[in-house]
Amino acid sequence: MGKLFGTDGVRGVANEELTPELAFEIGRAGAYVLARERKGRVLVGKDTRISGDMLEAALTAGICSMGLDVESVGIIPTPAVAYLTRKYGAVAGVVISASHNPGEYNGIKFFSGDGLKLPDATENEIEDLMNNKGEIKERPIKNLIGRVYINENAADDYKEFLKSTIETDLSGIKVAMDCGHGALYEIGPQLIEEMGGEVFPINTNPDGMNINDACGSTKPQLVQRLVLEKEADLGIAFDGDADRIIAVDEKGEIIDGDHILAICSRFLKEKGKLEKDTVVGTVMTNMGLDEFLGNNGMDIVKTAVGDRYILEEMIRKGYSLGGEQSGHIIFLEHNTTGDGLATALQLIQVIKETGQRASELNGIMKNYPQVLVNARVENSYKTKYMEIPEIKEEILKLESHFDGEGRVLIRPSGTEPLVRVMIEGKDQDMISKKAHELAAFIESVIGPK
């Protein structure tokens, strides 16, 4: 069967790669592994994709076949499933979503009873069981077979949770919102209105295939225009499962994840709520955030790219704030995953309590220019480039050239025969030239012959 779980669950084209047969087996094996300690219910939520119903039915059958009940919470964001799994005391939670991918794709992602993404070891155990089906010998019968329950209060419970995460209402605040025809298409606008704000929502008519289609967080131009048109205080755009956000200030300028971390870290530090005065970022975090934090009495810890690695570091070291440039922001006081709507509320709270406009807050951190160039290489070499003496020497020489005024980051692509060369520094033209030169050099040494 091969490797199933990627960095964020199982994904593929629905009914071609991610088939109902596969969903059934995932549900069966996942239930077996996650429920050995105790029986109970598994929460299942989904986004607006047309294939969600098909995959939910198959997945649910697999879970019920192992004697676990399923609690279906309908169309709801990924972070809601993480939160509600804990709130309801469920054995596990499952989200059927392919996040920012096009409508023909779908995915299956598990959360433990603690609302945490499964560690690699647990995912590997589920895969091993699916590759050796004979090992699952349990076949509950009679009244031991699982049942399905429909929870019609899940969205309201999630909204009440979100309201509790800030200490102010939204009166006087105008919000432009691009829901991306995704999981927040109803909850997002409802919440802003219920909290006293004025909201201008777009892309709230999912048809099963238009999720993320030239809209949402991957196409922020729409919400940039909407902010200016409606003279809104803040713009927010979500991806399909709403675990991340791209924000826009009142001047139409992007507030990316690094800037959100700068804004929220300073605010939380002043309130004494930033644990250890430290933010967790990734190796792709802009150096401008390092500089801002250092100048304001805060530190940064960096992990590999991926919100699961950020969360692991936060839990391990007791940090309270972390995130990625792409807009996955984790406020561990509130939730165990990135939460686009919760992040939007945190930004609005800063705007209201400080009296500053979003553009003023956006300006507290200055980005270092970044250039990313791909070097096409022989696949067998893409993780071994630092073992090639001349490449290692060239990278070290370039790092020495920057001497703290920039940095060089080289990492292999997860899916293609590419090495990605990212250079960051103060001079855009110079770093662009150096990045292309280094990529060309790497290709000359280990490129396809």
Give the strand pairing for 148-150 and 69-75. Answer: parallel
Q: Are residues 176 and 107 in the same domain?
A: no
For residue 158, is it within any domain? Answer: no
* Mean per-residue pLDDT, 133-141: 77
> How far is it, in rounded angstroms, from Cα 41 to Cα 69?
5
Supply the pLDDT for residue 5. Answer: 77
Total domains in the fold of the chain: 3
Whichever domain contains 389, its CATH number is 3.30.310.50
With residue 133 as reference, give the H or E element that holds it.
none
Count of CB atoms situated within 10 Å of the CB of 386: 11
Of the residues 51, 72, 97, 99, only one is catalytic, namely 99
For residue 3, is it within any domain? Answer: no
Tell the residue number behind the tokens 């804004």, with chain if given.
263
Is the pLDDT confidence value at 409 over 50?
yes
Give the end of a domain, one of 126, 153, 180: 153
For residue 52, is it within any domain? Answer: yes
Give the end of a domain, one of 344, 362, 380: 362
Structure tokens at 285: 């975090």
Q: Quick check: 161 and 88 in contact, CB under 8 A? A: no
pTM of the model: 0.90
Q: Are residues 175 and 137 in the same domain?
A: no
* Mean per-residue pLDDT, 154-179: 97
* Mean per-residue pLDDT, 201-208: 98
> How far is it, in rounded angstroms, from Cα 266 to Cα 51?
42
Supply the pLDDT for residue 7. Answer: 64
Query: Is the dihedral angle over the CA atoms 77, 79, 84, 90 positive or is it negative?
Result: positive
> How far is it, in rounded angstroms, from Cα 368 to Cα 408?
13
For residue 224, is it within any domain? Answer: yes
Structure tokens at 297: 């009495």
Q: What are the residues whose beta carbons fall under 8 Å from the beta carbon of 46, sequence distance 6 or more?
A: 52, 53, 55, 56, 74, 75, 76, 95, 96, 97, 183
At 447, is the pLDDT very low, low, confident or very high (cuts 50, 70, 90)?
confident
Whichever domain contains 316, its CATH number is 3.40.120.10
For residue 2, is it within any domain? Answer: no
Express as a percent the part of the chain with pLDDT over 70: 97
Q: Are residues 228 and 189 in the same domain?
A: yes
Q: Quick check: 281 and 302 in contact, CB under 8 A? A: yes
Q: Are residues 92 and 172 in the same domain?
A: no
Structure tokens at 3: 């490797």
Supply the pLDDT for residue 1. Answer: 46
pLDDT tens, residue by residue, 295-339: 999 999 999 888 889 999 999 999 999 999 999 999 999 999 999
Q: Quick check: 99 and 239 in contact, CB under 8 A? A: yes
Q: Quick check: 366 and 288 in contact, CB under 8 A? A: yes
Q: Are residues 183 and 236 in the same domain?
A: yes
Q: Are residues 339 and 401 in the same domain?
A: no
Structure tokens at 328: 């996955």
Is the pLDDT confidence value at 123 over 60?
yes
For residue 4, is it within any domain? Answer: no
Q: Which amino acid is at 105?
A: Y
Q: Are residues 336 and 378 in the same domain?
A: no
Q: Are residues 242 and 327 in the same domain?
A: yes
pLDDT tens, residue by residue, 272-307: 999 999 999 998 899 999 999 999 999 999 998 888
pLDDT tens, residue by residue, 388-399: 899 999 988 888
Q: Are residues 298 and 411 in the same domain?
A: no
SS3 137: coil
Supply the pLDDT for residue 411. Answer: 85
Q: Which amino acid is at 115?
A: G
| DSSP label at residue 295 | H
Range of the domain at 413: 370-446
Q: How many residues are present in the chain?
A: 449
Give the end of a domain, one of 307, 329, 362: 362
Is the pLDDT confidence value at 435 over 50?
yes
* Mean per-residue pLDDT, 201-223: 96
pLDDT tens, residue by residue, 261-281: 999 999 999 999 999 999 999
For residue 149, is it within any domain? Answer: yes
In the residue annotation, 265 being an active-site residue is answered as no
Average pLDDT over the chain, rounded to whole? 93
For residue 14, is it within any domain? Answer: yes
Q: Quick check: 305 and 282 in contact, CB under 8 A? A: yes
**CA of 30: how far to CAs of 129, 237, 241, in Å?**
9, 32, 21
**Closest to 99 measured CA to CA, from 298, 340, 292:** 340
Three-state SS for 348-398 is HHHHHHHCCCHHHHHCCCCCCCEEEEEEECCHHHCCCHHHCHHHHHHHHHH
pLDDT tens, residue by residue, 57-116: 999 999 999 999 999 999 999 999 999 999 999 999 999 999 999 999 999 999 999 999
Q: Are residues 114 and 186 in the same domain?
A: no
Q: Are residues 387 and 422 in the same domain?
A: yes
Q: Are residues 299 and 226 in the same domain?
A: yes
